[in-house]
Amino acid sequence: MLFFRWKWGIVTTVFLLTVLAFSPAVAQTGQLASSVAPFSISGTERAWLDAHEDVRVGLWVDTPPILFRGEDGQFQGIIVDYLDVIFGKLGVKPRPLQASSFTALWELVKAGEVDVVAAVVHCPDRAGDMLMSKTYLSLPIVVVTRTDYPFIAGLDDLGGKIVAMEPGHVAHSRIPGDYPEIKVLPVGGAKMGLQAVRSGRADAYVVSEAVISYLARTGKFPDIRIAAFTEYSCRLSVGVRKDWPVLKRMIDRALSSMTDQERRAILDHWTVFRDERWVERPYFWRITFTILFVAVTLIGLVSFWNRRLASEIRLREKPRRNFVVPMKPTRWSLSPRISSLSGSIIQGMCGCSTGRGR
């Protein structure tokens, strides 16, 4: 019975280790921890929303999986999923407005033709044009190189090298000033940046980790790897027109009410690698054989320990059985003798008494 208890305990442990081994690492996806707060809308806020049903949300086609158009022509990506949660809590269906670029979108903001911008990076020159919600998404910025490129520890190792960047990106606005020795190659998107690295036109490409994780799922860039992490991150907020502070407060509360599970589900959907041929991957087999080896070893040790314990118990009980069992036939074999002896004694006593009486 003890062995079976240990066996099921080991099986449970191995199962939990397997789940943890293949669960996505949330820290690597750039997820922000948040304290969950209950969400509710007051009567005054509901009346305000009813009076402003047409909320124009400015969008621009960015790099997958941040914001892009799918095969059906609809906007998709991490930002769209966050907007669905936010406006779902508000009970509002926004009207999307597409701009050709973020610069063009910001011109629409200044002209008053956009009410909300789905994703804005905090910058001093933008604070005067819109109200900024709390940061709802932080994406680490990484350095991408070819797999055969020499080892680099960070941007310091790229002095004098050509690095591809997207104009308007966080890296493009920060790196030239912080690392003036780096030569900047402007590119129009992630695929162009990766192609520049693969062709040798650029030594490296600086982009958000989420983009590389998403593109890795396609399997079209097997010769590209993440070489290093930078000190930068893309911290996104929702921009709201300055005369709508009521909406900004409601958006902040909606973001605060999102659970870690909701945030993780959005990021995992777009960044976690899912391959139907996952059983062909060496990583899978290394994890599998390691877990099996540990499980077999533990079960073998427990089985050996139980057998040894049972053997010791048998050795301790053997002398006691040898002492008790031989006594049984001796006891029963003495019973007739005792009976005969008692009968003789009784007859002798009777004989003595009869002689005296004579």
Please tell me the distance from the alpha carbon of residue 275 to that of residue 266, in angstroms, as a whole number.
18
Instruction: Verify that 239 and 133 share a domain, yes or no.
Output: yes
pLDDT recorded at residue 284: 58
Instruction: Verify that 43 and 127 share a domain, yes or no.
Output: yes
Q: Could you tell me which residues are beta bridge partners of residue 59?
A: 98
pLDDT recorded at residue 10: 56
Six-digit token string for 329: 């036939």
Q: What are phi and psi of 159, to 5 degrees?
A: -60, 130
CA proximity to 230, closest of 298, 304, 139, 293: 139
Domain count across the chain: 3
Please tell me the distance from the alpha carbon of residue 213 to that of residue 270, in angstroms, as a whole number.
8
Instruction: Verify that 66 and 205 share a domain, yes or no.
Output: no
> In this model, does residue 203 exceed pLDDT 50?
yes
Please tell me the distance from the alpha carbon of residue 313 to that of residue 187, in angstroms, as a whole number.
77
Q: Specify if 263 maps to a domain.
A: yes
Q: At what angle do helices 282-324 and 2-22 cross, to 10 degrees?
A: 170
In percent, how much of the chain has pLDDT > 70?
A: 74
H-type helices in the chain, by residue range? Answer: 2-22, 43-51, 78-90, 102-110, 170-178, 190-199, 209-216, 245-256, 260-271, 282-324, 327-357
Model pLDDT for residues 284-307, shown as the tens digit of each residue: 567 777 888 888 888 888 888 788
> In this model, does residue 23 exceed pLDDT 70?
no
Q: Which residues contact 267 (CB under 8 A, 6 or more apart)?
A: 26, 29, 30, 31, 78, 210
Q: Specify if 175 maps to a domain.
A: yes
pLDDT recorded at residue 337: 52
Please tell me the distance from the alpha carbon of residue 270 to that of residue 208, in angstroms, as a whole number.
13
Instruction: Verify that 130 and 242 share a domain, yes or no.
Output: yes
Instruction: Verify that 110 and 256 share a domain, yes or no.
Output: yes
Six-digit token string for 287: 């994890």
Q: Specify if 120 maps to a domain.
A: yes
Q: Could you tell me which residues are beta bridge partners of residue 163?
A: 184, 204
Q: Specify if 288 maps to a domain.
A: yes
Please tell me the distance from the alpha carbon of residue 63 to that of residue 191, in angstroms, as a whole number.
9
Name the 3-class secondary structure at 264.
Answer: helix
User: What pTM, to 2 d.p., does this model score?
Assistant: 0.64
Q: Specify if 88 maps to a domain.
A: yes
Instruction: Verify that 115 and 34 share a domain, yes or no.
Output: yes
Instruction: Verify that 14 and 129 share a domain, yes or no.
Output: no
Q: Span 54-61, mean pLDDT?
A: 91
> In this model, does residue 350 exceed pLDDT 80?
no
Q: Specify if 68 maps to a domain.
A: yes
Q: Span 142-164, mean pLDDT?
A: 95
Last residue of a domain, one of 191, 215, 230: 230
Q: Span 265-270, mean pLDDT?
A: 90
Can you give the CATH number for the domain in which 181 is found? 3.40.190.10
Model pLDDT for residues 204-250, shown as the tens digit of each residue: 999 999 998 888 777 788 899 999 999 999 999 999 999 999 999 99
Model pLDDT for residues 62-93, shown as the tens digit of each residue: 678 999 888 888 889 999 999 999 999 999 99
Domain carrying residue 242: 29-137+235-278
Instruction: Verify that 65 and 119 share a domain, yes or no.
Output: yes
Q: Span 96-104, mean pLDDT?
A: 86
Please tell me the distance from the alpha carbon of residue 187 to that of residue 170, in angstroms, as a whole number.
14
pLDDT recorded at residue 122: 77
Q: What are phi and psi of 165, to 5 degrees?
A: -145, 155
Instruction: Verify that 174 and 217 share a domain, yes or no.
Output: yes
Instruction: Verify that 85 and 120 share a domain, yes or no.
Output: yes
Decide if 172 contacts 121 (C-beta within 8 A): no
Exposure string for 337-350, b = 16+ CB within 10 A, e = fewer: eeeeeeeeeeeeee
Please tell me the distance from the alpha carbon of residue 312 to that of residue 334, in angstroms, as a whole number.
35
Instruction: Verify that 93 and 47 share a domain, yes or no.
Output: yes
Instruction: Verify that 181 and 218 share a domain, yes or no.
Output: yes
Name the 3-class secondary structure at 223.
Answer: coil
Range scoring the smallest mean pLDDT among 126-140, 188-202, 250-264, 283-297:
283-297
pLDDT recorded at residue 7: 53
Q: Specify if 257 maps to a domain.
A: yes
